[in-house]
Structure 1
Amino acid sequence: YSLYVIEDCAEAHGAEYKGRKVGNLGTCGVFSFYGNKIITTGEGGMLTTNDSELYERAKFLKDHAMSKDRRYFHPEVGYNYRMTNIQAALGLAQLERINEIIEKKREIFKWYKECLKDLQGIELNPEKEWAKSVYWMVCFVNEKFDEESRNEFMKRLKEKGVDTRPFFYPCSMMPMYKKEGFINPVSYEIYKKGINLPSSYNLKREEVEWISQRIKIFLKFI
């Protein structure tokens, strides 16, 4: 169909699909370096591609669309998407440790899975045999939740110092996309049933066990 494939890899640094790292499967991949991502530079992100024309175009636009031949001349509208040297140094230092970071994130998920395995009607992040997840955040889906009960559950956890966050709203709920008229029933169902559990790289096993105990206690009241 001559379509361009853009991979949204915002939280998937190091993840794999059928033995290949994500970010090099399509025309280009885009990663986020926001503060809570697998690798962070505080803000910003990264574009990956093996298309030399696309690479040169992105490089041109991110530096104010400045001409190579005429100093301070801008043949079209550009942007300031340049990363500072300090940010780059932070990112490169973490890139050297990315395998260590991913293994710790996978270990944290394993702890949660072991602690919550006896709960009925609960599902955590699935991982297919052809994939390797980096478990950016541990996803907790309760088939009994609706939006109101989910929010009440999060509130009770917050009162005990356990910070969680709801799943993203479906894009088609946003005003700018409603006119498209497309509704994905799965996303409309799952957004109100899921939360993200604490998933910091610094979490210890005993902290995950404590959080899991609070989850088990408060589920009885929902």
Structure 2
Amino acid sequence: MTTTEEYWETFYRERDQVWTGKVNELLAKEVSDLTPGTALDLGCGEGGDALWLAAQGWRVTAVDVSAVALDRVGARAAEAGLAERVDRQRHNLSHSFPEGEFDLVSAQFLHSTTEAEGERNRILARAAGAVAPGGVLLIVGHAGWPSWERGRVGEYHFSTNAEVLAGLDLDEGWSVEVNESVSREITSPTGEPGTRADHVLRLRRR
């Protein structure tokens, strides 16, 4: 297995549940006005977004590099009666990518310290290529470390929206519907209150 695969398998094996299981709030906000169709969830983790989308009527292809995470998606989908609406696929997105076009392609916090610099932009460029005419590419990423991680500045480069757009190099067949940064209050694992900023890009293929 590659370093990326080993890292994420270990990441998920260490705990029975890593994430809350809830949908990312920014995704829910940005797709609330879209008509359900086909969706591609890149880096789906344990399936919080994929299962929420399926419950809203989307047919979802849920992709992750971790087999452990995808097993949890499958179990939760079956429990919720959504198994037929969720297609799980294992991909290391640096090496393989799901086939087909989708009405919504979602990349939520698609960050990995195991990837070479610039790899995220290459993956996002492939994501743009998977958007069907009239469809949406939604990219949400962290703008930096949480406020309590003061010593980690410079350890990892969090791309700005301008850098992501430059990397995508989209033609005139696209329009930018949302380009913003938002800040939210969060609590550290030790209970320290803090904040974290995120970038949001919503792009539509005409």
TM-score (norm 2): 0.29
Structure showing greater Rg: 1
Query: Which structure is higher in strand share?
Result: 2
TM-score (norm 1): 0.28
Query: Which structure is higher in helix share?
Result: 1
